[in-house]
Amino acid sequence: MTVKLDQLDRKILRELQRDASQSLDEIARTVGSSKTPVWNRIRKMREGGVIKRQTVLLEAEALGLEACFFVLIRTSEHDAAWQQRFLEALRDRPEVQEAHRLAGEIDYILKVVVANARAYDAFYQALISEVKVHNVTALLSMEELKSGEGLPL
């Protein structure tokens, strides 16, 4: 089920990551190939799940989302039922941009994007009323220094 990627595939992915609105002709030219092979490779990488989806990056501030928090969560509950409920709570909340289960002292990290501090508090209250957590630390982002450059190829 693993697609093998050669240098040409990686060049194509690099271009797509940089600007997915380019035409096949443009991509073919910059990677030094022609339309059909580029198209076939893109199709295969889509089908093989290497390319998950095509999307747009939006300016959060323009949408009135001016606060970004990283939330560190410790829990005492580690049973399957609790995990399931926690997972569902995260999936249900669109403010949660990203969630990871961690190794070590801290059990989870979330990236949460909301309108303001009050909206974060509403999120926090809702979350802890749904699932029991031992300790929560919120780190407030003052400035995004880097983002959206895509994976290194």
Partner DNA sequence: TCTGAAACAACCTATAT
Partner DNA sequence: ATATAGGTTGTTTCAGA
**8 Å CB contact between 54 and 119:** no
37 binds, among a copy of itself, DNA, none (CB under 5 to 8 A by kind): DNA
Positive or negative: CA dihedral 130, 135, 140, 144 = negative
Taking every pair of C-alpha atoms in the chain, what is the biggest distance, in angstroms?
A: 57
32 binds a copy of itself (CB under 8 A): no
30 binds a copy of itself (CB under 8 A): no
Distance in angstroms (rounded) separating the CA atoms of residues 61 and 79? 38
DSSP state of 4: P
113 binds a copy of itself (CB under 8 A): yes
Question: Which residues from 20-79 bind DNA, rule CB under 7 A?
Answer: 23-25, 33-37, 39-41, 43
DSSP state of 48: T
Residues at the interface with a copy of itself (CB under 8 A): 2-3, 5, 10, 13, 16-21, 48-60, 62-63, 65, 68, 70, 87, 90-91, 94-104, 106, 108-109, 113, 139-153
Residues at the interface with DNA (CB under 7 A): 8, 23-25, 33-37, 39-41, 43
